[in-house]
């Protein structure tokens, strides 16, 4: 799903920057000015009034401070107080997506509508192909009876003028697992038992009503207010996200206060080796196919929504897991911070004792802006341990299966298939594969279309980032041949 630049997503970045600036300025003493600064009186309101805009911004700031807005009921509590609480906590709250009630526009239920492009044509294919006889001609134009319509879309498909359109509910449309639904007032709510933390609803909501609790303040506290060594675990999807190259990024992270920066592609190399061995073992045991498991949103979807495919999911751990394991083995008392494009990684980290915090590229970018750090101006540094290049392929679609195939070729036939993005249709496809099998024996499943470079925590265009990653992979392969 391609999400273009829009005010809702840009405002999220502005809020993170303002919060980081407030931390460095006075530890949130004046944080209550942030909504006022972002929505001054002379600015045209985007909702009914400037005061509702500011109220919504306060809730979005709460999420930036690591507080889930729908879990708090004290409307008199200030951002200054929330900031003080955030600096006192010793671990981040559990990660989850939530809906800001007053920001939700209560979009009308998804439906088909006849526009004024309708010509009331003689053919009337819309009426004749409607299985519920919900369409009639009124005043020379097609009319859909909402009581009879079942939203099958037949009329939309056959109209020669494309005059019948579908009006979706963006967040419900984007969610591949039906985890977000309306209450009796039309407001959206997220079922945490069903949610896979993919972030598709957050990226698609035009009103910025869906938020995710950030861990940025927790990381800032660890870096500046504790004696712990803090290690950044940098996902290879970072390539192309910031000006400069990955070596400048290492310098930038150290300038921001991290004591050490580790390449997560090293952990991905371990994932590749173990997943290749597991694939061979499964195929020799007579299993029909195996799916990859490095995407935590897919892993959660398989567990909760496609239990029948669970036996086919690889048991190999993710690159984040193996990287954190290596870091903690070397320095057990350090704090580990995974930096990547994914919101679901925060949920994965809750079950991994070796991962303390997860930041997105958007959040680390806000920290850079607040500290006046320009990545391309930072001194270039090298990783202590460098990936053999196989693990660097993981962020782009086909990268995981390609890395595994490179180790399996010559030992066993591998017939890979790519499911590029989790959608309602692809969920059904996986269920069908689990029931009836498929022509492939290795299926890579990526929740985000295009791969991790299209994750909700990214700040660069996915195609541009993918090209940068491919170049980075090529550089590593050239070095490995020397």
Distances 57 to 47, 79, 187, 242, 256 between C-alpha atoms, Å? 12, 11, 18, 27, 27
- Percentage of the chain with pLDDT > 70? 97
Q: How far apart are CA 173 and CA 50, in angstroms?
A: 29
Least confident of 187-191, 225-229, 283-287, 356-360: 225-229
Mean pLDDT over 55-78 rounds to: 90
How high is the pLDDT of residue 481?
Answer: 47
- Which of the four pLDDT bands, split at 50, 70 and 90, describes residue 477? low
How far out from the chain centre does Cα 55 lie?
Answer: 25
**Which of 3.40.950.10, 3.40.50.10800, 3.40.47.10, 2.60.450.10 is the CATH number of 218-481?**
3.40.950.10
Mean pLDDT for the stretch of residues 38-48: 90
CA distance 196 to 208: 19
Q: Which of the following CATH numbers is that of domain 7-106+171-214: 3.90.640.10, 3.30.70.20, 3.40.1410.10, 3.40.1160.10? A: 3.30.70.20
Domains of the chain, by residue range, sit at 7-106+171-214, 111-167, 218-481
Q: Which residue has the higher pLDDT, 440 or 477?
A: 440
Q: From CA 222, how far away is CA 215, in angstroms rounded?
A: 11
Q: What share of the chain is helix, strand, coil (3-state, %, to 5)?
A: 45, 15, 40
**CA 36 → CA 32, 33, 46, 294, 367, distances in Å?**
8, 5, 14, 42, 21
Q: Which CATH class is domain 111-167?
A: alpha beta
At 450-466, the pLDDT tens digits run 999 999 999 999 999 99
Let me know: does 263 contact 387? Beta carbons within 8 Å. Answer: yes
Q: What is the pLDDT of residues 202-250, one digit of tens each?
A: 999 999 999 999 999 999 999 998 889 999 999 999 999 999 999 999 9
CA nearest neighbour of 65 among 9, 20, 103? 20
Residue 433: Cβ within 10 Å count = 22
Condensed to tens digits (0 to 9), the pLDDT of residues 255-304 reads: 999 999 999 999 999 999 999 999 999 999 999 999 998 999 999 999 99
Say if residue 121's pLDDT is above 70: yes
End-to-end CA distance of the chain: 40
What's the mean per-residue pLDDT of the chain? 93
Contacts with 10 (C-beta within 8 Å, 6 or more apart), sequence order: none
pLDDT at residue 4 is higher than 60: no
- Cβ atoms of 216 and 339 within 8 Å: the answer is no
Q: Provide long-range contacts, Cβ within 8 A and 24+ apart, for 398-402.
A: 398/444, 398/451, 399/451, 399/469, 400/272, 400/275, 400/292, 400/294, 400/444, 400/446, 401/292, 401/442, 401/443, 401/444
Please indicate, yes or no, whether the overall pTM of this predicted structure exceeds 0.95. no
The tens digit of pLDDT for each residue in 386-400 reads 888 888 999 999 999
- Provide the CB-side half-sphere exposure for 131 (13 A, CA): 5
């Amino acid at each position: 799903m391609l999400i273009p630049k829009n005010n809702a997503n840009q405002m999220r970045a502005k809020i993170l920057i303002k919060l980081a600036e407030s931390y460095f300025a006075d530890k949130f003493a004046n944080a209550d000015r942030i909504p006022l600064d972002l929505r001054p009186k002379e600015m045209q309101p985007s909702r009914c009034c400037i005061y509702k805009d500011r109220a919504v911004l306060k809730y979005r700031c709460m999420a930036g401070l690591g507080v889930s807005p729908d879990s708090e009921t004290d409307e008199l509590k200030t951002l200054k107080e929330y900031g003080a609480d955030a600096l006192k906590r010793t671990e981040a709250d559990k990660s989850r997506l939530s809906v800001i009630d007053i920001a939700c526009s209560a979009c009308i239920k998804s439906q088909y509508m006849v526009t004024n492009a309708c010509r009331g044509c003689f053919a009337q294919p819309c009426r004749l192909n409607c299985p519920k006889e919900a369409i009639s001609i009124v005043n020379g134009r097609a009319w859909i009876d909402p009581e009879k319509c079942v939203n099958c879309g037949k009329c939309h498909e056959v109209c020669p003028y494309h005059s019948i359109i579908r009006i979706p509910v963006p967040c419900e449309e984007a969610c591949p697992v039906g985890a977000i639904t309306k209450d009796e007032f039309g407001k959206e709510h997220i079922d945490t038992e069903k949610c896979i933390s993919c972030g598709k609803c957050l990226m698609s909501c035009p009103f910025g009503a869906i938020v995710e609790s950030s861990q940025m303040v927790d990381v800032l506290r660890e870096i500046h207010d504790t004696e712990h060594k803090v290690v950044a675990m940098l996902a290879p999807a970072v390539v192309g996200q910031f000006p400069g190259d990955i070596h400048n990024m290492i310098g930038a992270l150290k300038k921001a206060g991290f004591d050490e920066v580790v390449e997560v592609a090293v952990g991905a190399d371990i994932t590749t080796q173990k997943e290749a061995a597991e694939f061979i073992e499964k195929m020799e045991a007579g299993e029909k196919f195996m799916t990859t498991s490095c995407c935590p949103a897919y892993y959660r979807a398989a567990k909760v929504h496609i239990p029948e495919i669970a036996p086919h999911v690889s048991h190999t751990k993710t690159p984040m897991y193996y990287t954190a394991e290596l870091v903690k083995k070397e320095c057990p008392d350090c704090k580990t911070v995974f930096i990547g494009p994914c919101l679901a990684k925060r949920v994965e980290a809750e079950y991994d004792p070796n991962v303390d915090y997860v930041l997105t590229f958007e959040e680390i970018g806000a920290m850079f802006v607040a500290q006046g750090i320009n990545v391309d101006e930072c001194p270039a540094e090298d990783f202590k341990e460098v990936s053999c290049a196989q693990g660097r392929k993981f962020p782009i679609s086909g990268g995981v299966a390609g890395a595994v195939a490179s180790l399996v070729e010559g030992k066993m036939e591998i017939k890979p298939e790519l499911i590029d993005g989790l959608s309602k249709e692809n969920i059904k496809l996986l269920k069908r594969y689990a029931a009836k099998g498929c022509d492939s024996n290795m299926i890579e499943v990526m929740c985000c279309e295009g791969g991790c470079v299209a994750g909700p925590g990214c700040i660069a265009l996915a195609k541009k980032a993918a090209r940068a990653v491919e170049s980075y992979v090529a550089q590593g392969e050239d070095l490995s041949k020397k």
